[in-house]
Amino acid sequence: MILYPAIDLKDGHCVRLLKGDMTKATVFSDSPARQARAFQDAGCEWIHLVDLNGAFEGQPVNAAAVEAILSEISVPAQLGGGIRDMATIEMWLTKGISRVILGTVAVEDPDLVRAAAAAFPGQVAVGLDARNGFVATRGWAEETEIQVTDLARKFEDAGIAAIIYTDINRDGAMQGPNTDATAALARATTIPVIASGGVSSMQDLIDLRDCGTPLNGAISGRALYDGALDLGEALALLKAT
């Protein structure tokens, strides 16, 4: 199981939100590139990036910060937030992003997701962000009546590289991930699932690893910045099992 350190970008800074609320942002670094390099130096295999402003505005906003990160690291990075057309997908992959994450368009334009996955094999993931089991879009500001598992199944044969599943109510709250819902999603699809939202301790990682259904990985942000989770120890734990 891969541990993905998260860098969420707002106004060019590295921040963490509480339950997706843009008004409740804590700034952890004014140099996202330096933070990304620190994660790489600690031994991470991937880095998870989110353009928070882009998620709300529907287009890249923190492009300069993302490009600075890419110039600083050699490990692969995945990026979500404001990626809603083929031109933007191609732009980011050309610039060096290893995997784009499509969230809002998975609901609003599933044909685009399928076309992108076919055009860029292994480089397109779907972000399923849920509040009380139902998918939310446009920076989590809009709720749908679509259940997570139902949407995931729609992409079963599309060649999606991974599903990033986030329980919004757990995100940034340091209360642990929704392990049961994550495991249920992983059982419902053959697409690799990455857990996100609330991963804040070694025990959380153990619980996800041992949930009974193999997961591709887990994303953690605030816990790494607060020191509740030591990245080196966490990576060692996951590599040893």
Positions marked active-site:
8, 129
Q: What single DSSP character describes residue 144?
A: E
Q: Which candidate, 15, 18, 10, places its Cα nearest to that of 29?
A: 15
Q: Contact 67/73 with Cβ under 8 angstroms?
A: no
230 CB burial (10 A radius; 0-12, 13-18, 19+): middle
Q: What's the rounded Cα separation, in Å, for the pair 167 and 50? A: 16
Other CB atoms within 10 Å distance of the CB of residue 233: 12
